[in-house]
Structure 1
Amino acid sequence: MMANNEVTLANVAGHFRLEGEVSSIKAYGDGHINRTYLVTTDRKRYILQKMNTNVFPDTENLMRNIELVTSYLHSKGKETLDIVRTDDGATYYADATGAWRIYAFIEHTISYNMVPDAEVFRDAGAAFGDFQNELASFDASQLKETVAHFHDTPSRFLDFKAALAQDREGRVSGCREEIRFFVDQADWYPKITDGLSNGSIPLRVTHNDTKLNNILMDATTHKARAIIDLDTIMPGSMLYDFGDSIRFGASTALEDERDLDKVHFSTELFKAYARGFLGEVKPSITDGELRLMPESAIIMTLECGMRFLADYLSGDTYFATSYPEHNLVRCRTQIKLVREMERKLEDSHRIIDEVMKELG
């Protein structure tokens, strides 16, 4: 006899156009936001997800964004997520248990939670650069903002100050040094949003969550095959994607490393990623974007760090945590990275100049 959860999952899967008979549905992956399951039939494998409608309340436009972008990429011959339709042709199914979607499983792939070497990170840069390049001619205005102010760093700072003022869990007194750090960095926050507002930075289709583990690499060649986790596909700046990639991938440690002596900003990894990324976007990147590439890494790291700290102050309601100080630990790794990024800012600008000269 199946447990209640298994019955629910089997019933949900039954509303989609799957090939073959379902033989198993098992929890899969380690994502923080959606609940993910691997569905196996006698013919194929699929990814079933229960979408987090608290984080992404606008399910209709979220799936519309994904459908528009994946259809466009498919039309250009790119490997990407393949949405499995429901019996009535919809992109997702909703009932009393939640909102559900299914993608075809992309076989013979792997992903990394941390950069294993510079070559893999260069390939990651090329993958996200190619993603940007392929979508450069896509009309970003077709997409809806499904999470308001997602990478609007000044808005995130206001959220942070609201969490600080409320001090819902009484945690402010234990992290005053971290709080002071983000308050003192406020001059950084509007640099990208101001550029979008005044037109010096173009509006583009952006992934907005460019962690290394959102690239599926071929299990044999280790070359990038597909960009996944498209929930945050929205109009934005190329700098969001570049900066967040550096934040995550040019660190020598995981973002929840307790030992800060292990956390460093690697200019070697920065250069590797820049080579891959710029090699793809060179035909379309603007001078305004180029000038802010090193700064974008600082801004995205500051934004992520203050989000971790705001969530800690608010009782850990957004990011999944494994222990009470988990978000505070994450915040501290971001602070350490920002400090090193600031010290090495001139080096980073020199690297961008060198890479552009190499590319000709």
Structure 2
Amino acid sequence: MLIAAKALELYNIKGAIDSVAPFGLGHINDSFVVMAEGKKYLLQRLNTAVFPKPEVVENNLRRILSLAPELFAHHVLGKNGKYHQFDGESFWRLQEFVADSYAPEKLGLNELEEIAKGYGRFTASFSAENLSDYVEAIPKFLDLTHRLNQFEEALRKDKAGRKSKVSSEIEAVLSFQWVEDRFNNLVEAGLPHRVCHNDTKAANCLLAQPSGQFLKVVDLDTVGPGYAMFDMGDMLRSMLFNIPENDSNLSGLAFDNKRFETILNSYLKECSHALTPVEIETLPLGGLCMTYITAVRFLTDYLNGDVYYKVTFEGENLVRARNQLKILELMSEAIA
């Protein structure tokens, strides 16, 4: 807590600091809620193991905040004129806490509609941007071929001695390699590359209390080059079935066409004018791509001995992989 309090000295906050306390359960960055003279802030320490080039995150953030500030929480500039401040050990950023807001957990049709509208507005707001002004914050983060190569390497090395325990999961991953082929064919045919959020979970979209209307898009570290189908895909992956990634009770899962149409149509309502016909036509394929990438990453980490994702119980990454493979199976039957 003392480290966080010291980091606040890098910003021109009016009044005395009343309190600093840990906030949220994020898996990547450390977050703290700060109270100062009755005003509430969110202070975050950037995880440079995941984001090795803070200057890239800074430049991408500065660009989008200057173009569409109404979409995002107000970020506070540090004393040196940058959003990210270095205290000699860590990089920090500070933003005003968004009042009367919430990140939805229970996702009914209204929540799906408002979240998808929010991300659609994001897509539309940056549709005219020159992609050369942005850089990937995590190189090859959503590169399916790269993730499959990592998976194959994990199979060869079998560092944790777990390969023999997951033969059916390995078979399932290999059976969906056609998803990679279909996506690569689209890229070779000229699928547009554009500015994307690249992490479009429900938790990264704030809704207003008590109306439930879209308010702000948050968690902007991954903003950069990407594909619209991947932003749609992560919404479908994480919101269509509305279960936690570590839920092992998959027997009752079913594809809900009403939920699917609500997400897709609400997104398109805000940004169809900014997308090409091929982008619109292939948005559902993004659900398969993003679910496949996530399943592969979970199983790869399990094979490697749980070295990337935090786990709270033995075999959690395997549970996560099975969860995503089941969603992938159901999704492929409905929209492939």
What is the TM-score normalised by the length of structure 1? 0.90
Matching of residue 281 in structure 1 with residue 262 in structure 2: no
Contact 1:67–1:83, Cα closer than 8 Å, also in 2: no
Counterpart of 2:175 in structure 1 is 184
Unaligned runs of 5+ in 1: 1-5, 347-360
Matching of residue 343 in structure 1 with residue 333 in structure 2: yes
Counterpart of 1:15 in structure 2 is 10
Query: 3-state DSSP class of the match of 1:18?
Result: coil
Matching of residue 291 in structure 1 with residue 286 in structure 2: no
Counterpart of 1:43 in structure 2 is 38
Counterpart of 1:256 in structure 2 is 246
Residue from 210, 223, 236 that aligns with 2:226? 236
Query: 3-state DSSP class of the match of 1:259?
Result: coil
Distance 2:16 2:119 in 1: 36
Measured at CA, do residues 44 and 341 of structure 1 come closer, stay the same or move farther in structure 2, by a change above 3 Å?
Answer: same
Unaligned runs of 5+ in 2: none
Contact 1:257–1:263, Cα closer than 8 Å, also in 2: no
Q: Compute the displacement of 1:93 (Å).
A: 1.6
Measured at CA, do residues 190 and 297 of structure 1 come closer, stay the same or move farther in structure 2, by a change above 3 Å?
Answer: same
Counterpart of 2:20 in structure 1 is 25
Q: Compute the displacement of 1:109 (Å).
A: 0.3
Distance 1:105 1:197 in 2: 43
Contact 2:118–2:214, Cα closer than 8 Å, also in 1: yes
Distance 1:270 1:315 in 2: 35
Distance 2:7 2:224 in 1: 28
Query: 3-state DSSP class of the match of 1:235?
Result: strand
Query: 3-state DSSP class of the match of 1:340?
Result: helix
Instruction: Give aligned pairs, total.
Output: 336
Residues 218-277 of structure 1 deviation map (CA, whole Å, 9 limit, x = unaligned): 011111111001111011110010011000000142221111114333222111111201
Counterpart of 1:218 in structure 2 is 208
Query: 3-state DSSP class of the match of 1:292?
Result: helix
Counterpart of 1:351 in structure 2 is none
Matching of residue 66 in structure 1 with residue 61 in structure 2: yes
Measured at CA, do residues 140 and 81 of structure 1 come closer, stay the same or move farther in structure 2, by a change above 3 Å?
Answer: farther
- Quick check: 86-95 or 186-195, which moved more? 186-195
Residues 95-117 of structure 1 deviation map (CA, whole Å, 9 limit, x = unaligned): 343211111111110012341x1
Contact 2:104–2:111, Cα closer than 8 Å, also in 1: no
Distance 2:227 2:185 in 1: 11
Measured at CA, do residues 299 and 83 of structure 1 come closer, stay the same or move farther in structure 2, by a change above 3 Å?
Answer: same
Distance 2:228 2:183 in 1: 10
Contact 2:288–2:332, Cα closer than 8 Å, also in 1: yes
Query: 3-state DSSP class of the match of 1:177?
Result: helix
Q: Compute the displacement of 1:193 (Å).
A: 4.2
What is the one-letter code of the residue matched to 2:114? Answer: D
Residue from 61, 71, 86 that aligns with 1:79? 71
Residue from 99, 121, 127 that aligns with 1:130? 121
Residue from 199, 206, 219 that aligns with 1:209? 199
Contact 2:71–2:122, Cα closer than 8 Å, also in 1: no
Query: 3-state DSSP class of the match of 2:299?
Result: helix
Counterpart of 2:140 in structure 1 is 149
Query: 3-state DSSP class of the match of 2:273?
Result: coil
Counterpart of 1:172 in structure 2 is 163
Query: 3-state DSSP class of the match of 1:344?
Result: helix
Matching of residue 326 in structure 1 with residue 321 in structure 2: no
Measured at CA, do residues 166 and 113 of structure 1 come closer, stay the same or move farther in structure 2, by a change above 3 Å?
Answer: farther
Residues 15-64 of structure 1 deviation map (CA, whole Å, 9 limit, x = unaligned): 11212211111111111111111011113111111111011101111111
Distance 1:320 1:148 in 2: 21
Counterparts of 1:87-126 in structure 2, within 5 Å, are 87-115=79-107, 117-126=108-117
Distance 1:130 1:322 in 2: 36
Measured at CA, do residues 101 and 87 of structure 1 come closer, stay the same or move farther in structure 2, by a change above 3 Å?
Answer: same
Q: Compute the displacement of 1:197 (Å).
A: 4.0
Distance 1:123 1:81 in 2: 17
Contact 1:252–1:264, Cα closer than 8 Å, also in 2: no
Query: 3-state DSSP class of the match of 2:68?
Result: helix
What is the TM-score normalised by the length of structure 2? 0.96
Counterpart of 2:151 in structure 1 is 160
